[in-house]
Structure 1
Amino acid sequence: MNARSGIAGFQLTERTRVTELGTWVDAVGPDGHRGGALRFDPAVMGLPGVRDRVVATVLADRQLAQAGIGGLVPVDDVVAAGEEVWLLTRQPTTPSLADLISRHGLDPASAAAVLVETAQILLGLHASGLAHGSVHPGTVVIAADGGTLLSERGLADAVRGQYPSPQRDVTAWASLARGLAAMWGGSHPRATELFERAAATATTRGLAAARDALLAGRDALGQITRDRLSEAARTWSAPPVAPMGRAGVQDEGEIVTLLHVPGAAQQFGPGVPTEHAEQRSTVEQIWQDGRNRQPPPRKKKRPVRTIVAAVLFAVIVGGAILVWTMGGKLVGSSTPIAVSKVDVIVPKKAQRCTEPVKVQGKLSTNGKAGTVVYEWEQSDSGQRIRKTQAISEGATSWTVTLLWTIDGSGKGKLTATLRIISPVPEGKRVEDKATFSFNC
């Protein structure tokens, strides 16, 4: 449940997901179209310099958009409401690639379309002197038309006080390709081989060559199309909600935009005039139009805290680029998901054959978001069951389940083996096994 129902004219829904930056909420903009709202973790935004660097990063994204470089989820504004800082987007950030993998799966042609478009977006960023820094299934967004967008560009690095690098993007893209290749097991061998080859090409010859390798191998995929992606995205999307009428507008308190044009007023409240109307963001338009409030009967003295806040945010915006350029000590890292070990847990008592035996596997990860491909192996038949699991940011332990139906009669023992297929360090195996007894 969201603590507030709206922010800066965006109506918040109950669909949320937690990332390392904070909490994303599906939202509906003032025009009735779907958007997104990221409430930054207050503990993160309270760290020295973080807010400045986040603002500078978003301003850089806006400059990219003005230069005609697309592929990023467009940011409408970054606003402060009391102690909260929100990033508002004009397009939804769901479904992500992780969402589609966990709910619908992904066919090879659709996966290739995502990889090709992701590579193209990254190439455009790199040519502009920027990088994404945190490419994984949770930041790859599927638009309603089936196209690919990237969210959270540079934000994870801004929080850590480091610069996103093109080489890290290439490594992340290759990891994404390998993760997708591992999804199908032996059901699509030609597509699996093509994706593995593209991943290797990316690390040795770059993203452009990897993209071309995918396009050249379309015979292994069939037609590379967005059709299924678009269908899945439309199935995921909630119906548009009509804009809230003026009579139903609730007081959201004072909202301050952090992405304001230098020289104009910083504070947005009912009836506060400002210049540069043609450059106003959604939050500015809402507050400057007064939202149908009646002016107070007499002029009241502006609270000192409001003046201080306005001055503070003016300093933040004015110094954001300088702080970001000078940076600070590079700390932390933006690494892809890794599974350090697995543990298989089986029932201690002898199992009957009247119902499936529940076997659980505990995955220990590094807390990063991503997709894990794993397989169960059953000793009675040698059958291998391959599955894919999308892991959320911050989760260091994840449980997967195998329901094992025992065929036959008598007594005996069976062994369940859980093996990680991807991601796995080169030359290393990550697996575990456990044995249980049955009495049929």
Structure 2
Amino acid sequence: MNTDRGGLAGFRLTHRTWTDELGTWSSAVAADGRPAGALSFDPRLIGDPATRERLVGAVVADRRLTQAGVTGLVPIADLIAAQGEVWLLTAEPVNPTVADLLSETPGVPRPDAGSAAGVLVEIAQTLLAVHAAGLAHGALHPGTVVIAADGSARLAERGLADAIHGRPPAPERDVAAWSSLARGLAASWAASSPGAAGLFERAAATASTHGLAPARDALLAGRDLLPPGFDTRDRLLETLHLWTAHDARTRGGRPAPAPALPAPDEGDIVTLLHVPRSGESRTEDVVMRFGPGVPVETTAAQLWRAGRDQQQTEPPSDRLRVLGAPARRRRRRTAVSSVILALMVVAALVAWLLRSSAVPLAVTELDVVAPKKTQGCGATVKIKGLLTTNGSAGEIRYQWKRSDRKETIEQTDTVASGKTSHEVILQWSVKGEGSFKGTATLRLLSPLPEGRKLQDKASFNFKC
């Protein structure tokens, strides 16, 4: 639906509106003329004062993440109450989303596998930074992944659904949602690239079993399966340009008419991002919550504790200014802590941008160990293989051969960066009576050292 609804706290609501589970989004123009967004929350969801308090806490946490250097979130300008409604104002547009680009649009080509890889890696990196702070997104799906004007992926609505429904942060839900998104992009944007689609499927499986960091590393290690020049984002930017042009045409390209509704009186607009003045007690709406299992002395926790009294609101209009500045000493502490988290994010992004020069995975040694003790009746023998690597990420293909069978067992494992060893297991079940000596041979298929063949074997004794 396209409407023109006038101004709100320095934001002009124009043209495009759409609804989701939280309320109604509107495209907007900020006071400085830049594209922005505005979300009017469904009143039925936020009628309870406790819900509003949780919502404020989520927005404050989101702004602190952005201030700390997490660039993968759509920045929030303000959270306001106006004429009985609660509005979230964003400093950047929240469309198009991945959901928009997944839809068939005449004259707009779908992004390719390289575009999907870039989106997945950037989302994974943002989620890792969010999870490191003891927080979560809570509602990750194609409709909350925004493609910015430069082709980068941003997450919208972080923490809002959890706050409204009173749910604690659950990073595991984000991981499951990321895996689902990876599989969805494998079947759509990567449909014409079987190698890339397989890479996305493996990354999704890796995320489910080992977490987001190994899944991200698996994508980085599989860059050879992606289209040439994928890291320039050219295809995604082309799609973005054509989608924007089509969206403008469907709106008729008309300028916004005069507001149909009078602008709310300035006194009717109140920012909800309250900063306690000196001497006031802290309110629960700015408590930073850390998820189960997150140590209280993490760098992220220190950052939040150092900065919780310094939360500043920067309204989109000069008339909505909240007075009060943080103490200089606390500001310095926050700056130092912010740099620490920012460096963590930048380091991973540099790995993504410079991945063409990354050292490929190499396996240097292989050892197989079997139990020395004679195995008894009905035993399942566990034979271990240990592969020594150079610490890079990638895939290892290997083959087990049992002495009692002709066929071999071939497997592929994804190895995360930073680990210099990888263990593989063969489970060998022995049944019946008598004596038996079994030998298991492990052979490396790839990556092989130049001019070398890596294999080893180990034996065990069975008696029943």
Q: State the alpha-carbon separation in 1 of the partners of residues 21 and 192 from structure 2.
A: 34
Return the index of the structure with the highest Cα Rg: 2
Q: State the alpha-carbon separation in 2 of the partners of residues 219 and 252 from structure 1.
A: 56
Shift of 1:219: 1.3
Q: State the alpha-carbon separation in 1 of the partners of residues 39 and 157 from structure 2.
A: 10
From 230, 237, 241, the equivalent of 1:230 is 237
Q: State the alpha-carbon separation in 2 of the partners of residues 279 and 184 from structure 1.
A: 41
Q: State the alpha-carbon separation in 1 of the partners of residues 129 and 312 from structure 2.
A: 25
Shift of 1:205: 1.2
| Structure 1 residue aligned with 2:207 | 202
- Which amino acid in the other structure matches residue 123 of structure 1? L
From 110, 131, 134, the equivalent of 2:136 is 131
Pair 1:11–1:164, CA change in 2 (3 A): same
Shift of 1:64: 1.3
| Structure 1 residue aligned with 2:356 | none
- Which amino acid in the other structure matches residue 8 of structure 1? A
Q: State the alpha-carbon separation in 2 of the partners of residues 41 and 3 from structure 1.
A: 19
From 265, 269, 274, the equivalent of 1:260 is 274
- What is the aligned length? 272
Shift of 1:55: 0.6
For the 8 Å contact 2:45–2:164, the answer to whether it is kept is yes
From 301, 304, 314, the equivalent of 1:281 is 314
Q: State the alpha-carbon separation in 2 of the partners of residues 280 and 20 from structure 1.
A: 26
Q: State the alpha-carbon separation in 2 of the partners of residues 158 and 288 from structure 1.
A: 25
- Which amino acid in the other structure matches residue 192 of structure 1? A
Q: State the alpha-carbon separation in 2 of the partners of residues 229 and 185 from structure 1.
A: 13
Q: State the alpha-carbon separation in 2 of the partners of residues 83 and 198 from structure 1.
A: 45
- Which amino acid in the other structure matches residue 262 of structure 1? P
Q: State the alpha-carbon separation in 2 of the partners of residues 138 and 62 from structure 1.
A: 21
For the 8 Å contact 2:24–2:42, the answer to whether it is kept is yes
Q: Secondary structure at the match of 1:42?
A: coil
Q: State the alpha-carbon separation in 2 of the partners of residues 173 and 123 from structure 1.
A: 12
| Structure 2 residue aligned with 1:431 | none
For the 8 Å contact 1:146–1:228, the answer to whether it is kept is no
Shift of 1:250: 5.7
Q: Secondary structure at the match of 2:74?
A: coil
Identity of aligned residues (%): 57
Pair 1:3–1:28, CA change in 2 (3 A): closer
For the 8 Å contact 1:5–1:13, the answer to whether it is kept is yes
Q: State the alpha-carbon separation in 2 of the partners of residues 203 and 146 from structure 1.
A: 27
Q: State the alpha-carbon separation in 2 of the partners of residues 24 and 51 from structure 1.
A: 18
For the 8 Å contact 2:22–2:161, the answer to whether it is kept is yes
For the 8 Å contact 1:257–1:283, the answer to whether it is kept is no
For the 8 Å contact 2:3–2:16, the answer to whether it is kept is no
Runs of 5+ unmatched residues, structure 1: 265-277, 290-440
Deviations 1:160-195 (A, max 9, x none): 101131111110000000111112686321111111
For the 8 Å contact 1:115–1:177, the answer to whether it is kept is yes
Q: State the alpha-carbon separation in 2 of the partners of residues 184 and 281 from structure 1.
A: 39
- Which amino acid in the other structure matches residue 84 of structure 2? E
For the 8 Å contact 2:40–2:86, the answer to whether it is kept is yes
For the 8 Å contact 1:143–1:230, the answer to whether it is kept is no
Q: State the alpha-carbon separation in 1 of the partners of residues 8 and 191 from structure 2.
A: 48
Runs of 5+ unmatched residues, structure 2: 279-310, 323-464
TM-score, with normalisation over the residues of structure 1? 0.57
| Structure 1 residue aligned with 2:63 | 62
Q: State the alpha-carbon separation in 2 of the partners of residues 134 and 88 from structure 1.
A: 19
| Structure 1 residue aligned with 2:177 | 172
Q: State the alpha-carbon separation in 2 of the partners of residues 31 and 283 from structure 1.
A: 8
Deviations 1:314-367 (A, max 9, x none): xxxxxxxxxxxxxxxxxxxxxxxxxxxxxxxxxxxxxxxxxxxxxxxxxxxxxx
- Which amino acid in the other structure matches residue 224 of structure 1? F
Q: Secondary structure at the match of 1:37?
A: strand
Q: State the alpha-carbon separation in 2 of the partners of residues 256 and 175 from structure 1.
A: 39
Shift of 1:42: 0.9
- Which amino acid in the other structure matches residue 166 of structure 1? P
Shift of 1:2: 4.5
Shift of 1:45: 1.3
Deviations 1:85-118 (A, max 9, x none): 1000000000101111113422100011000100
Q: State the alpha-carbon separation in 1 of the partners of residues 76 and 63 from structure 2.
A: 8
Q: State the alpha-carbon separation in 2 of the partners of residues 154 and 280 from structure 1.
A: 19
Q: State the alpha-carbon separation in 2 of the partners of residues 220 and 63 from structure 1.
A: 37
| Structure 2 residue aligned with 1:215 | 220
From 111, 116, 120, the equivalent of 2:121 is 116
